[in-house]
Amino acid sequence: MESWHGTTILGVKKDKRTVIAGDGQVSLGNTVIKPNAKKVRRLGADGAVIGGFAGATADAFTLFERLEKKLEQYNGQLMRASVELAKDWRTDKYLRNLEAMMIVADKDVMLILTGNGDVLEPEGGIAAIGSGGNYALAAARALAEYEADPEVLARRAMGIAAEVCVFTNDRLTVETVEA
């Protein structure tokens, strides 16, 4: 059975701005199924949290919905909501089978969430997930000391990832939060 591929999500936190960028490609084997998927979105009632996902789309939307409920329950506190989601994700029989990863951010913090119960704050304010994540991460780290604007940095790094990863394209969705 062929598996779905085709996600690169990059988060960049610099100064008082955080950007999450995601490519638009969804592939099945060596075929591009959709070139313009939206893998990055605003979360929470007030849109103060942004998030991007890699993995199965239905699983990611389930996790986004759960995170939004946790944000509501914990008054928009992203760290607390993320830890509680990770606990549920790790221990709940249904959630444990979901195959996705997420990068989420608000004005204060950027986190990587995994199904292993991980809530990770990336070193240096740069995080990437998905099949092209390592390419985007390497490019962003290389550009970080030369580019002050996190959105420009994210767009350039994603462009580099799209040039070298066959599962990544340059049709980006970008969301930003500012402190």
pLDDT of residue 125: 96
Identify the pLDDT of residue 6: 66
> Strands 26-28, 4-5: parallel, antiparallel or unpaired by DSSP?
antiparallel
Helices (H), the chain: 57-73, 78-91, 133-143, 150-164
Q: What is the pLDDT of residues 37-89, one digit of tens each?
A: 899 999 988 999 999 998 877 778 888 899 999 999 999 999 999 999 988 88
Examine the pLDDT at 2 and tell me if it is beyond 80: no
Q: Mind telling me the catalytic residues?
A: 7
Question: Above 90 in pLDDT, residue 132?
Answer: yes
Which are the contacts of 128, defined by CB distance < 8 A and separation ≥ 6?
Answer: 8, 9, 10, 11, 103, 134, 136, 137, 140
What value does the mean pLDDT take over residues 11-19?
96
pTM for this predicted structure: 0.93
Determine which of 3-17, 76-90, 135-149 has the lowest per-residue pLDDT on average: 3-17
Cα–Cα dist 136/164, whole Å: 10
Per-residue model confidence (pLDDT) at position 1: 39
User: For residues 99 and 83, which has the higher predicted lDDT (pLDDT)?
Assistant: 83
**Could you give the percent of the chain with pLDDT greater than 90?**
68
pLDDT of residue 99 exceeding 60: yes
Whichever domain contains 114, its CATH number is: 3.60.20.10
| Domain tally, the chain | 1
Estimate the crossing angle of helix 133-143 against helix 150-164, to 10 degrees.
140
For residue 3, pLDDT beyond 70: no
* Domain coverage including residue 163: 4-178
More confident residue, 100 or 110: 110
